[in-house]
Structure 1
């Protein structure tokens, strides 16, 4: 019989470790790594036993592992109460493979390129309402932009009344605080009075989404529609409930994550004047390479999601031990991205380091890895870059010497604790119209939905894995 064991880790009670993870996660994990080495065990109330891995060889093993052994959906099960039991995020093995295959079409190269002009227009309309000369939190504005983008491009909502209703209810469903997260983790709580408003919001969102699904099914021009829901309906193999679960998943995974990444980009740019000036020049000159580098560096220095993880269904030889079934193996994204062995002077916001860089999927993993790597990664990068470009071309941002904003964990997302406060000095003259077409890091048209990010060493790894993004 194989003897299993766990790496060392803190012996604090599970509830205490949970508190440390949710209040100061990056510092807690960094302290564990310093004390216990490249792999360590944390035991977190509501999340279970987690083995953090920071050695690229171990991370490669996880990402290349069999999806029958490394269960990402099970690791995401805490989200089932919101996303539904058929969500591509919470299923595993053959069910995940089949569901993911159906959902690739909306995120292919041509589909993404077709949406770029709409993304630019949505961003421009929102930026036009920003105050001048007043410090304000930009995170809510980013959320407005990304929600509108996903409602228009993924759901294809066109009925004005329904679109307005979705704009109102979806933030109440998706912006989860600690109190709401309890009910998502334990759906039975939804029946109780303290969570009545949340239950009602989800019910209203479901009503609107089912109405949109019904309209799509009955639309004689369905074949001409380019939104993601139309493509999923045309595939013809999902029930209304399954379609609802995928729509909520796309909304949850593709809205707040991108909005938070954009907020961090502005928070970092306004604290690094030289980088901001270079980014403005790039936006005005059409230098997409540099803007892509800003995006990639933002996602390195401020990863949006907490981590990536997989529940082991059987003992696995990993990190010099045989880890037991039932534990969660976690490639430590936050720790790896801050490792000076991979990124010299890791606390410096330096997009230059990303120009022409060949990044390893075991040391750069903002979109996870393997077959669970975010299938919306191309869409996210396009939206991030297009919106950032519109901001830099349309307003002049003031720089600040204020201390950087702390990372605050909201559900599974790291957000700026003050909402990424910025100040617009003045508006710039309206820029000439842009084609909005996404081009890859070397100026070539983007590749498919999985391979259009910067080149990764060992791309053969992109066949297994998991992420908190759209997977």
Structure 2
């Protein structure tokens, strides 16, 4: 690590015309550091080069990292025909599909977003909370007692079940049994798979060939579920997202629906489970705070539980950056930037700013009890026209699971605080957030 730190901090890239300064490391090294050690390297580059700096990262190329709220607001308020999130997320295309709402821009994005939003109306979301809480309570009852275990995989199981039941709406037990292990494998893809997407010649060998075979099996199951759902007699009475998507726009192709489902799976499964894992990991190491949050669970104080989850998302952002590709030259953060540059508002850096969050290193849910934080300071769901469509479901799920866990068990930490590690595009506890569960 000392060698990496020396390379990461001791060499500078002379300012390229129209771009802020940044590290001079080879593009491959910058990519590895930024994609796999982001919580460690981003603050070091910020200290070295300032609040606006340029990196070179595959497959985006030149990218400008931002973290000041006023600069992030410029990005989120930018014109849809200039700030392209779809292009910025292009690395996810091989798994999410060309119709994914994360990968399209302008009018195509507006249409797709409107359709998906119809499935996330308030009355639907409020009805999902009891379902999530029951699912979570059933799984927590199966947790080991008085012995260390990694809670993150267990939370992944809960989150996957929420996706299967509430988003996919799968009820056939045989199909559920077949889907679960395949989707778990799909979700656990690592950064090495991304390399195969940048270099297509790798697709026929090793882990990339196996990934393509896995993806094909998952797609077959999803297409079968979509075909079955189109033929059910009670479609209008169902509350799952797939059924609502079919009602909102029955003309959507199976490929479009498949891409929406995979996007909601990948954007909503790992992120929520990892947020909850970090939340329980940190609460177990803060007994007084844990007691306060447990009281909120027992009293149905959803406001305090939600504030706790939001604070965990601030301290431990699971997604590290937002991405926008410039389709046209434009001025951002005081720089006249050319088309093709990718803007990366850094969630990690924005959430650590002392001028946005006093005593930023401290876990204090009370920050979120007195109204929303100032715009563009707390951005785990992105912002602007591209704010995460599943944000409301994520918060409902997180609060319901937290409530079910803390009503059922006490928590004790195992060892020292865990370091973060990168899994696909998320930051997770390196050892799975090991805890001891004690019956109440």
TM-score, structure 2 normalization: 0.93
Matched, 1:359 2:396: no
Q: Which moved more, 1:47-56 or 1:254-263?
A: 47-56
In structure 2, list runs of 5 or more residues that go unmatched.
1-15
Counterpart CA distance in 2 for 1:185 and 1:231 is 35
> What's 2:101 paired with?
88
Contact 1:126–1:145 under 8 Å retained in 2:
yes
Contact 1:4–1:321 under 8 Å retained in 2:
no
Match of 2:235 among 205, 217, 222: 222
> What's 1:386 paired with?
400
Q: Which moved more, 1:404-413 or 1:370-379?
A: 404-413
Counterpart CA distance in 2 for 1:42 and 1:193 is 30
SS in 2 for 1:423: strand
Q: Offset of 1:395 from its aligned partner?
A: 0.7
Contact 1:176–1:411 under 8 Å retained in 2:
yes
Q: Offset of 1:309 from its aligned partner?
A: 1.2
> What's 1:254 paired with?
268
Q: Structure 1 pair 169/187, CA: closer, same or farther in 2 (3 Å)?
A: farther
Contact 1:265–1:295 under 8 Å retained in 2:
yes
Matched, 1:28 2:41: yes
Match of 1:322 among 318, 336, 339: 336
Counterpart CA distance in 1 for 2:173 and 2:197 is 30
> What's 1:127 paired with?
140
Q: Offset of 1:26 from its aligned partner?
A: 1.9
Matched, 1:64 2:77: yes
> What's 1:271 paired with?
285
Q: Offset of 1:192 from its aligned partner?
A: 3.0
Q: Which moved more, 1:84-93 or 1:38-47?
A: 38-47
> What's 2:325 paired with?
311
Counterpart CA distance in 2 for 1:98 and 1:338 is 35
Counterpart CA distance in 1 for 2:102 and 2:185 is 21
Q: Offset of 1:108 from its aligned partner?
A: 1.3
Match of 1:233 among 196, 221, 246: 246
> What's 2:295 paired with?
281
Matched, 1:296 2:349: no
Match of 1:213 among 215, 219, 226: 226
Q: Which moved more, 1:263-272 or 1:41-50?
A: 41-50
Q: Show structure 1 runs of 4+ deviating over 2 A.
A: 178-197
Q: Offset of 1:403 from its aligned partner?
A: 2.8
SS in 1 for 2:23: coil
TM-score, structure 1 normalization: 0.87
SS in 1 for 2:37: helix
Q: Structure 1 pair 104/321, CA: closer, same or farther in 2 (3 Å)?
A: same
Contact 1:272–1:399 under 8 Å retained in 2:
no
Matched, 1:343 2:357: yes
Counterpart CA distance in 2 for 1:118 and 1:45 is 41
Q: Offset of 1:353 from its aligned partner?
A: 1.9
Matched positions, count: 424
Match of 1:373 among 383, 387, 396: 387
Counterpart CA distance in 1 for 2:129 and 2:199 is 38
Contact 2:285–2:412 under 8 Å retained in 1:
no
Q: How does 1:126-145 map to 2 (within 5 A)?
A: 126-145=139-158
Matched, 1:160 2:204: no
Q: After superposition, what is the alpha-carbon deviation per residue over 1:204-240, rounded to whole angstroms, capped at 9, x for unaligned?
A: 1111101100111111111111111111112213101
Counterpart CA distance in 1 for 2:128 and 2:217 is 27
Q: After superposition, what is the alpha-carbon deviation per residue over 1:7-44, rounded to whole angstroms, capped at 9, x for unaligned?
A: 11111111111222134212211111112111111112
SS in 1 for 2:56: strand
Contact 1:270–1:398 under 8 Å retained in 2:
yes
Matched, 1:182 2:195: yes
> What's 1:444 paired with?
none
Counterpart CA distance in 2 for 1:361 and 1:330 is 17
Contact 2:413–2:434 under 8 Å retained in 1:
no
In structure 1, list runs of 5 or more residues that go unmatched.
429-471
Q: Offset of 1:331 from its aligned partner?
A: 1.2
Contact 2:328–2:339 under 8 Å retained in 1:
yes
Q: Which moved more, 1:70-79 or 1:111-120?
A: 111-120
Counterpart CA distance in 1 for 2:257 and 2:199 is 23
Matched, 1:243 2:254: no
Counterpart CA distance in 1 for 2:207 and 2:180 is 24
